[in-house]
Amino acid sequence: MSDAMTLPLNHMENILITMMRIRFFEETVADSAENKEFITPIHLSIGQEAVAAGVCENLMSDDYVFSTHRNHGHYIAKGGSLRRLLAEIFGRETGCSLGHGGSMHVIDPEVGFMGSSAIVAGMIPISVGAGLSAKMNRQGQVAVAFFGDGATDEGVFYESLNIATLYDIPILFVCENNLFSSHMPLFKRQKTDKLYQKMQAFGIATERVDGNNPVEVFLVAHRLVEMARINRLPSFLECMTYRWRAHVGPEHDIDIGYRKREDIDYWKSKCPIKFLKKQLFSAKRLDETSYAEIEKRVRDEVAEALAFARKSPLPDRCTLEKGLY
């Protein structure tokens, strides 16, 4: 496996900056939630940043991304606006869903982020439809569906996988296996935690990677995205990772008993940002000064987004039914 010493520096820097944007953004969201600045439920992906950043670094602006209730990282990695996303979470009319969607229902077609939903596995069949559209249009686009391991408990996931393989649809299924569906661990729901092996039965290319290693995620996703773009074939990527915060909200869910502090501490030791920082430092492609400059720039971006969200107006009541199907 290659490391940050041999890969193009622009890709590694982009991935590092994207992970920092996601981390600092969601830490700000968590702080704002604790201060009761908004009332929408939030599902944070702190600790899982390498998956979104590594996969989306391989995508074009017009490729399609579909997401879940835990969508902030995917949206940011696809090039979404920090200002518009935070305004959406604050329920403001300047939000990417015009303040009507909150944290879980985000959409921004201008950057190829085609939507997210609170329904587990709900966006997966829609992503297959987008992939079919891309195949028919012959413009070289691919579709990417992000979902958690809980979505692989749903029948519609397997129906979608079957259609994608049957019709050779250019789509990458990305499973963020963080070992829990809400508060229930994977071993209580399925006989095996090797989800990628199950998907091989469909005749689809499958891979499993360390989801906290952004270099590995980037490289394997690159191969699978190119398989979709050039050969018009679907694939399944299982990324082993872990969320540091609660299933929903800014807490850590230790007090309710379904996971332990030592488990969280272990996964924090596998922080994807620290991993890539260490690799770039070891390769002498980044130093303390340049890293500090990047960190300050990203923190300033997030601070500006927070100021924008706070000062943005709430939607007018007359728009309440706008956009309903």
Q: Is pLDDT of 177 > 90?
A: yes
Pick the closest to residue 222 from 212, 235, 210 (CA basis).
Answer: 235
Structure tokens at 117: 């939903």
* Higher pLDDT pick, 4 / 273: 273
How far apart are alpha carbons 238 and 161 in whole angstroms?
14
Q: Is pLDDT of 298 > 50?
A: yes
- Relative to beta strand 143-148, strand 235-240 is unpaired
pLDDT number for residue 256: 84
pLDDT number for residue 1: 47
Q: What confidence tens digit (pLDDT) does each residue in 76-106 have?
A: 999 999 999 999 999 999 999 999 999 999 9
Q: Is pLDDT of 205 > 90?
A: yes
For tokens 């007090």, name the residue: 255
- Relative to beta strand 184-185, strand 64-66 is unpaired
Confidence of residue 4 (pLDDT cuts 50, 70, 90): low
Confidence of residue 3 (pLDDT cuts 50, 70, 90): low
Confidence of residue 258 (pLDDT cuts 50, 70, 90): confident
Domain ranges (residues) in the chain: 9-313
How far apart are alpha carbons 109 and 132 in whole angstroms?
17
Q: Is pLDDT of 118 > 60?
A: yes
Q: Tell me the CATH number for domain 9-313.
A: 3.40.50.970
Mean pLDDT taken over the chain: 94
Q: Is pLDDT of 261 > 60?
A: yes
> What is the average pLDDT across 25-33?
98
Pick the closest to residue 294 from 83, 8, 16 (CA basis).
Answer: 16
- Where residue 248 falls (left for φ over 0; alpha for ψ -120 to 50; beta otherwise) is beta
3-state secondary structure the chain: CCCCCCCCHHHHHHHHHHHHHHHHHHHHHHHHHHCCCCCCCCCCCCCCHHHHHHHHCCCCCCCEEECCCCCHHHHHHCCCCHHHHHHHHCCCCCCCCCCCCCCCCCCEHHHCECCCCCCCCCCHHHHHHHHHHHHHHCCCCCEEEEEEHHHHHCHHHHHHHHHHHHCCCCEEEEEEECCEECCEEHHHCCCCCCHHHHHHHHCCEEEEEECCCHHHHHHHHHHHHHHHHHHCCCEEEEEECCCCCCCCCCCCCCCCCCCCHHHHHHHHCCCHHHHHHHHHHHCCCCCHHHHHHHHHHHHHHHHHHHHHHHHCCCCCHHHCCCCCC
pTM: 0.95
Structure tokens at 186: 């994977």
Contact present, 77 and 52 (Cβ < 8 Å): yes
Structure tokens at 33: 């939630």
Q: Which residues pair with 65 in a beta bridge?
A: 113, 144
